[in-house]
Structure 1
Amino acid sequence: MPITQKSLSIFDFEGLFPNEDSCVSHLFNSRFGQNYACPKCDKEGPWYLNKYKRFACSRCGCQISGRSGTVFSYSNHPLRTWFRAMLVFTHTRTGISNAFIARHFGFSHETSWRLANKIRSHMAWHCGTPIFGGAGEHVEIDETLIRGIRRGGKGSCRAIIFGISDRKRVSTMIVPKRNRATLEPIIRARIRPGTIINSDGWRAYDHLSEIGFEHIKCNHKIGQWVSEEGAHTRHLDTYWTTLKRSIRGIHLHVSMDHLEKYIKECEFRHTFRKKPADMFWDLISKHPPPLPFSGKRYRKG
């Protein structure tokens, strides 16, 4: 699969973000900008960086923390450390272990786990819940089992993952069962009517043609990987391989409580597979909307 852009190197990062102030300024400008209207005096900028690493209104002194409402909130780590960790996350295709983060930054295991967990949560927020398909468009659906999932520290179990793909994007979710009662409501909510759905021969999909979809099956039990109409689920089959390699090869065991974040991390990487440079910039530049203003300043981040 061709890569159209180069990912950001560590030398590029050092040049773009040489100090903490450059990181704080980037976060503020990407979320607010110098023309942001002050929530206290209602006038547009300019804003200046004060000694507390917050931006203050040049007219009334109202302070805004760019960290507030982001994954960087309530963290003692410098913003530059967060940016560097996000860069390291974007330099691998199958994920990165918490132990590597601990060695790379000199953190304790608990600190590295918390930092990595928040970055994965941020990736999950980026994935969102896209709606797929449309009249005449092909969408693949499939489900898979992932073994080696720990539940409550007592042995290992299996998790069922359901996936939808339009061969550009992938959306995955954990489901309790793979029967019709579980999967059909998800398909109705996430795929537009009139879409051509490609699937294997699993019986939970037998009624899709009765609820507004055109359904084409590939009977994998008899070795049919491409139907007579040319339909297939190869894109999701390949994606499952990448996901399982990430969990089994990098993390070995994953807690059921946090499995969703690991799945969404893989989903995020897949979305940016052809534009790896944008992966880092999206992580540091796109965040949830600012929190409502209350009092003299935004809540401390």
Structure 2
Amino acid sequence: MATPRMDPSILEIADIIRYPAAEEAFLREFGLVPTPSARPQATGTLQGRPPASEYWGICKDLGFNPGEPGCDGEVVTYNRRCKKGIRPSFKCNRCKKQLSQLRGTDALHGRQGQGSFFACRDVLGRPNVKIARREVIWLTYAMIKGFSSRNTKELIEKEFKMSNTTRTDWRNYVREVALAELLEQPPMGGVGQVVQIDECLMRGRRKANRGRLLTGDNVPPRRRNNYGGVSDKGPWIFGMLCVSTKELRLFEVDKRDAATLGPLIAKNVLPGTTVFSDEWAAYRCIPGLVNANGTPLNLDWHTVNHSVNFIDPATGANTQRIESEWQKAKRRLVRNGNKTTPALMRSHLAWLWWRSVNARPNVKDKFLRLIEAIARRYPL
């Protein structure tokens, strides 16, 4: 029986980010950075010396030095000494052009004309980032393991010196990967599968007037009940949970009417799925839903009247599991000092979906799954 794949331990990840050779080998193994080209046999040595560590190509072919576009020199890697210590860099042996490996060029970063996950574009359109790759590895590892932003900083504060803004930005970049993955997911459920649906106003209120003011504390009492057509402060989150796989999909919606919720259900649920919901009026559109081709979905829809029972005694319909997820979502998005802005809400919800699929307690390779997803979004 094959041994299941497991994430590196925190000590193993510390070794990866401590030693440059281990870091480079890890990133190349998962396709996050390109592998250097094979050195042409005719080049021999560089100015009478053995070739520098790795050969990356000809200067003019890589567009390495815009000041000398016809340079025929070889671009290699070497360790450049600077005030901050030794920094891995690229260098042309003919024109002597040097670039930090944090910057480089599009060809060196390997993504056709668009940089890489480790090199975003600056205002001049150049691939550039002021954070080392080992720091990105640590931030990604800490995030998927559930470390808070504060713990991420404290655990390795002596090794990395990064601002709160930088740390927050990179956590957002990782969530964007999860959002891109969610948008490409096929519908869930199927014949014999149960999907529970529900909606929640994602705002919090203080208990016993204690603690910090939350969104719900600033809403007048007459606005606290929202019934579909009235847009209220929130936002409203519509959720779908597949009972067998525990996959949770959450979507921000402006209204809870049939015109808004119906298309989301049709896009994310397979034909023949059993759907459990409460008796909210907007769900009456479920029997008539069709897919993008106009084919009826034939969903097996059952409801539960929460004013009478939490579980329908006749059909067993309930929304217990999806409702239990709202507390977890609010804890991450509303409470615990989190300040989720409206612009980032979609990516935060996508991150909750990612964790429901790839970060369950029985999943032992959640970090490696995330690394592979990043490699898919940023192909070499």
| Pair in the same fold by TM > 0.5 | yes
Specify whether residues 64 and 227 from structure 1 end up closer, same or farther in structure 2 by C-alpha distance, changes over 3 A only: farther
Corresponding residue for 2:109? 65
Q: Could you tell me which of 345, 349, 361 is aligned with 1:274? A: 361
Q: How is 1:26-37 mapped onto 2 (pairs within 5 angstroms)? A: 26-31=26-31
Aligned-residue offset at 1:17: 4.9
Instruction: State the secondary structure of the residue aligned to 1:265.
Output: helix
Corresponding residue for 1:77? 131
Q: In the alignment, is residue 166 of structure 1 matched against residue 242 of structure 2? A: yes
CA contact (8 A) 1:90 1:276 kept: no
What amino acid is the match of 2:239? G
Aligned-residue offset at 1:256: 0.7
State the superposition RMSD in angstroms.
Answer: 3.5
CA contact (8 A) 1:145 1:160 kept: yes
Aligned-residue offset at 1:254: 1.6
Gap regions ≥5 residues in structure 1: 39-46, 56-61, 150-154, 292-297
Specify whether residues 144 and 130 from structure 1 end up closer, same or farther in structure 2 by C-alpha distance, changes over 3 A only: farther
Aligned length: 268
CA distance in 1, matches of 2:269, 2:118: 34
Aligned-residue offset at 1:252: 3.4
Q: Could you tell me which of 337, 342, 346 is aligned with 1:256? A: 342
Which structure is higher in RCO with an 8 Å CA cutoff and minimum separation 6?
1
Instruction: State the secondary structure of the residue aligned to 1:206.
Output: helix
Corresponding residue for 1:229? 315
Aligned-residue offset at 1:225: 2.9
CA distance in 2, matches of 1:197, 1:18: 50
Q: In the alignment, is residue 132 of structure 1 matched against residue 188 of structure 2? A: yes
CA contact (8 A) 2:117 2:378 kept: no
Aligned-residue offset at 1:246: 1.3
Specify whether residues 247 and 21 from structure 1 end up closer, same or farther in structure 2 by C-alpha distance, changes over 3 A only: same
Instruction: State the secondary structure of the residue aligned to 1:134.
Output: coil
Corresponding residue for 1:152? none
CA distance in 2, matches of 1:127, 1:278: 19
TM-score relative to the length of structure 1: 0.75
Is 185-194 or 125-134 further displaced after alignment?
125-134
Q: In the alignment, is residue 204 of structure 1 matched against residue 276 of structure 2? A: no
Is 225-234 or 170-179 further displaced after alignment?
225-234
Q: In the alignment, is residue 96 of structure 1 matched against residue 130 of structure 2? A: no
Q: How is 1:118-157 mapped onto 2 (pairs within 5 angstroms)? A: 118-128=173-183, 129-147=185-203, 157=233
Specify whether residues 69 and 189 from structure 1 end up closer, same or farther in structure 2 by C-alpha distance, changes over 3 A only: farther
Aligned-residue offset at 1:83: 0.9
Instruction: State the secondary structure of the residue aligned to 2:235.
Output: strand
Is 247-256 or 215-224 further displaced after alignment?
247-256
Corresponding residue for 1:288? 376
CA distance in 1, matches of 2:139, 2:35: 30
